[in-house]
Structure 1
Amino acid sequence: MTQAPAPALDLSACDKEPIRTPGSIQPHGFLLALSPALEVLQASANLGAMAGIAAADAVGQSLAQLIGADAHARIAPALSGGTLGARPFYVGTVTIANGRHFDVLAHAWDGVLLAEFEPVGRAHPADFRELYSLIGDFLLKVNESVGIEQLSQLACQHIRSVTGFGRVMVYRFDGDGHGHVIAEARDESYHAYLGQHFPASDIPAQARELYTLSRIRLIQDANYEPAPLVPPANPVTGRANDLSFAALRSVSPVHLQYMRNMGTLASMSVSLVVRGKLWGLISCHNAGPAPVAFEKRTACEQLGQILALCIETREDASELQFRLEVRRVMVSMLGGLTKSADFVDNMSAVFPELIRFARAGGVAIVADDRVLTYGDTPSIDQIQALVRWLGVHGHGEVFHSERLSAVYPPAHDMMDVASGLLAMPISRIHKHYLLWFRPEVIHTVEWAGNPHYKEQPGAPQQLSPRTSFAAWRETIRGASMPWHSAEIELTVEFRTALLGIALERAEQMAELAEELGRANKELEAFSYSVSHDLRAPLRHIVGFSDLLLESAGNEDFDKRQRFLKNIKEAARLAGKLVDDLLSFSQMGRAALRPATVDMRDLVEACIDEMALELRGRGIEFDIGELPHVSADPTFLHLAMYNLLSNAVKFTAQRELAVIRVWAEDTPNESVFHIADNGAGFNMEYVHKLFGVFQRLHRMEDFQGTGIGLANVRRIVERHHGRVWAESVQGEGATFSFSIPKNPETE
């Protein structure tokens, strides 16, 4: 077989190509863009070859004039019935005026009706009995296939038997977007890719997004000449047509060259979408051109959707089992943490369980200058240096990395024991940390071609399709086994439980202390919050845990997931309250350590720390020129974080939240303002604003513990500054505080 020469390609920006609006179609069928009255607005340039009427002459005609009265009568009710959606729908098989037979697919998109005509050798409608036999046989064997790989192998075999493609693969995407071939069915003459990896760069981000929207795509012949649309612009929108869901949509010339480089002239891809995300692909290849009728494509698409559902079910079951095992270890640990009054001694007594909890190689407890280790860990000096680094860069409830040396260069010297790190701060004020270490796991990845070919000497510097798919092995170093999402989430729960134990100790100490004035009021509010605010989420945790245990033998995974979600939300709320209580309690005792603080860096660090709660929100931060001040950086960070978080919370009901931060310079102090366009508050109650457990809004409207602003006041006052606020209810609020330029020593 003689392969057509590759067309000239502009490879400078293939990842930005308009793949949804290519302006043309694959020529194995023709496309018409129709008005609601079924008048032809556009036609593909190959219309003349298939229907005997030039595309330019067809524009303006009625559909009946173009394809004949009988054909029009067969499909017009479906086209004009107003029931078409975004995905192509089979509306029938017609014989047009020139005697040729076509399957007709139609969908409504981009302001027009898109009708696609694919030639067939029969006059009767498509026979979907193959769909039932394929799906029925697959479903019968699903229960026999326990693992995802076995299910995927079964799907490959079924799809290959239906389509006749020479090779069918299933590959899944990892966290970095690389594809790993986990199943394959092929003719012996085809190269095997089973077990190999395809680099993420093979599929640009916009193509992945389109795979998620449009679940199947066929390329019959990679050597095709695209058939442009006439006229080029959609008459309704004035722009190139969006052909995202069109079965005949033309594809990127870069991808066609990629196929030819791979020795593939026909391909079909079926998307595997799990929980709304592109989990992987069923990829079909053939050395020569290969048409696949619509009914066969439908069967393959349906099988792909069933496979995706099976994958989701098995992953959910595996996830649930893993979480239950980790939770059992956590419960066992907590039972041993109340034996004595010394927290560190209690923690060291459960070192073996701590190792099992995080599947780690070593664990360390750091309490200021005291460091206790167990298992394979870095040296004491290395751990202390790491904790200092975490104090600056590890803000948040948990820090985790499976490639620590990539973010913390000194970790290169301890990769054998600490390529991976899971770090949990136990205090916001003191340098108290629980650290888990995982050793380096050296492994070899087999790629289908060198994924770093662009980095080779003499390689082209612009984007281009790969030319080699020969097996290429790469040894991966410097990385540990990745941290499971459940391990990270349950570590946050474990931290909440530890802080609860610490809170219980703090209560016992408070009963022995003599409190005066405001301290007595704070203790009273503290007791009320513990008895009311904290018990509510704890009751939820206990109740839903009982329900989860009762449903252990139940196959209703949705119910289990709901129970786990409720447990997680209750634990998060309890943990937030405990964190805030402890921070407020520690605020009056910990010594200030003044240093020069760059306030702009501090504000940007706070915004970075809030990245998760900002996700999905429309927020505009306007940060003015901010001076340096002399203050305790840890305390000041906490105060600024509370004020910014407050602004984010109370602008939640705004489509676009605007948060401004600016400063004023006076002879004796630096004054900072944080303003928002949120809900604001009634100035009649401003005197309550900075009190402990004072809420000026309903808990149902704006969740919170009522401690954050009290922390701000205490921090600012310990720096001998002032704090105040102004607001117009419904129009936003401005919170202000000052830091003296010549701070007094405590």
Structure 2
Amino acid sequence: MPHAEGDGAETAPDQLIAQLQRVTEQLAASSTPQEVFDIILEPALHALNAIAGTVLLVSADGEHLQRMATRGAEAGAPTIWQDRPLNGDGPSVDALRRQQPLFFEHQGELTRAYPDLEGHSGAATPVATAVLPMLLGERPLGVIVLDFSEPHRFTRQERYFLRTLGAQCAIALSRATLTRTLQGQLDDRRQAMEQDASAYQAFVAFSEAVGEGTDRPALVQLAIAALRAQFPDSSVMYSEPDAERWTLRAWSEDLSPDAVTRLTAGMPGSALFVASAVQAGRAVFTTYESVQQRQIAGADGLAAHVPITVNGAVTCILSLVVRGRREWVPRDQAVVRAVGRTLELALERQVHLLGLEERSRQLDDQAAALDVFTAFTELVANETDVSALSRKAFEVMDAHFKAYSSAYYEREGPLWKARVWTPNLETVLVQQIRAGLPLDVPSFAQAFQSRQPVFIDGWDPERDGVEHTEMFGPVCIYPLVVDGQVLGIFTVGLRVGDQWRSRDRALMHALGRSLTLALERTGNARQLEQRNAELEARTRALEGFADLTRDLSADADRHELVRRAQEVVMSLLGDGYALYYERDGARWRNRVQVGTVGHPDLQAFIDAGPPVGETPSVDVPWFTRQALYQDQYARGSDTPESMVQHVGTTASLPVLRQGEVVGVFITVLFAQRAWTGVDRAVLESTTRSLTLALERAASASQLMQRTRDLERSNQELEQFAYVASHDLQEPLRTIASFSQLLAMKYGGQLDDKADMYIRVIGDATARMGTLLQDLLAFSRVGAGVPRQDIVDLQVILTQVQQDLQAQVQLSAAQVQVGPLPRVTGEGTQLRQLFQNLVGNALKFRHADRAPLVQVEAQDLGDHVRIAVRDNGIGIEPVYFERIFTIFQRLHNRDRYEGSGIGLSIARKIVERHGGQLWLESRQGEGTTFFLTLPKGPTP
């Protein structure tokens, strides 16, 4: 067991204090752990007469105690103080765990406390021992052990000395460790700065070298030289992609011939160094004996592969193999990256400059092309002839091409024939192109099919099969396309050079577009002239036919209309004749003819009626409903050929009425001619006008028949009114008179039933008289045409109120009339209309409230809408139409008097005035009648 007292020699306190003073001074100047160990152990051994001293420190991982220094013991002599795990047992571990020094003063105490101590080390235990923990705060650093060969009593002063020594050692060790850490950091920082400086110097040197360069091979050689300067014992390679392989393009001189042969043959993109660099997108560094450098240079060492990215794509790889080294250091990696980045920037700048140069060249080409376009446009501003346009194109090319020849071709059957050419063409070649080139000449066929210009570098006469053209180098075949059709081909052959320059291509494009636009403008001008001529012809035909049909009446004969149309056509088209056929069973009958046919037998044939189905000139338009134009009459097709030798041209057009073919309009001209658009316009406009005239005549006839029917109906209605007012009322008055006589003479003399019969007869005859009067009034409303007077509705409603004054007073009603306009119509009927509407509003009043009738108007433009609104009993929607039916009632006569004809008369009056009458109503709440009337002039 450790003791506080012992039997050993004691050390004087003054000596201990002096030793602590010296130790403190020496530790202040120490900088390494070994210096600290020497300063601590030597004084302790001397001051306490110990035979050996040992320092054990906690390992970096905090798991073990490791012996770091031993003093006093013989070199190589075994000791019990060995490395131990901190989670084990032993005096050194216990001292740290307890954070207290352990003192063993007598023989055997240490062995009794730790029986296994000697067995683990194979050494004998000392007689006395002091184990001193070293702590920095509460963090354990290690222990100091002093061994004695004699029993030793550790006095209070010695224990204080040892504890102080342990504390000073802990502080000194901590300071030395911190100093060493800081020194390491300083060394690392200095090394990094040196590496950065080296990389910067390489970057600056290479940047200065490539600062003005734009030639790609030269830039690559500068990069290779920069790397070789930094890494003398190295090989540098530059590779570019070529289809599916990466091919060596540049390399340093030291690369072996075998490696050059292998790498210039190309490596697949899947090769390890290529794939890794491309996938990483940054520099890839490999170490000693890697597979990658053996793929490249067949050597062991270090390798680096830097992908160079331009415009977002890896365009090349810069590779470096350093022989004789086993590890990459950061400095060297920085140098490689700097050179790679500088090359990347230089190549990006080179691509950018090349792009600017290309853009500048394109702008120059576009400016030159614009000059050509402008010059040609000014020359041909008013030109419409194709040959003249081609010659103007030659003039423009004279200013831009030193030696050239040109020609303009048009298609004629199976050949391309030259129409215009430059004067410098050889005579034999002119004869050849005037005679025509086959359509299958390869360059011409390609331009025709693609509708795009064909530029040929190095013209080969044998390839295209065009003789006498060996003097040309670059050749352009330019198709002139308008509305998708190739109207012609413009060719240009240069007599100098072998290839088309981009500037010359741009000039040809501009000239070709200009010539195409000129042709398009010419075509548009011709089409406009043609359309104007057709329009004028149509106008003449329409005006002529309009003059002839201006006085068309309902009884106009359709054949007379056809004759007028034939006369118009023949007056516009020239010498010939016109026929009009209608079908008569199996024969075609000529119903109308203008002009003589020029052959008596032909006239007889026509009069006899050609057979249906054997006369194409008539059959085709009749059955197909399509016009048949024959620029050259097919003699003998439907007429014996001998009769029509003098006939040149025919046109047959169907004549329709209400969508059905009723005849065939045929025009025959003696002279042969092609039917132009103008001619067709005349014929089609005339037949269309004839169709309209026939339909109008038929409509006029139908209208006249309908008018006659209406007049007859009106006469019958008037006759009915006469019968109702005279013949029917006369016997009714007789019945009424005799029933009155019976009542006067025999009233009260017969029984009650007889008196009742007499009263029923009287009431029935009175009601019958009312019905006849109402029926007469209804018939009179529909008779004749209503007068078109200007009627002031305000006055009409005032009169109506006066007529209904008795009913108004009897029912205590209010009639409110708003501002009303003037309308066009017949005043008497309009007064009857509003009297019926207002009267109904008063009649069908609600039992629980006094009647309120409101009349108001709304302007609808050329009409006015009148509303007559009441608060009466209302009408169910199911009866909205029934109430307008004559003699239809919704209530018993005992409750509401009347015949049920008033609203029928009201609607008839409104409709005869060109308006409408309708209603809106809710049962028990009231009804509103709406009507529209034509508005009269504003006063």
TM-score normalised by L of structure 2: 0.21
Query: Relative to total residues, which structure has the larger helix share, 1 or 2?
Result: 2
Q: Which structure has the higher relative contact order (CA within 8 Å, separation 6+)? A: 1
**Higher Cα radius of gyration:** 2
What TM-score do you get using the length of structure 1 for normalisation?
Answer: 0.26
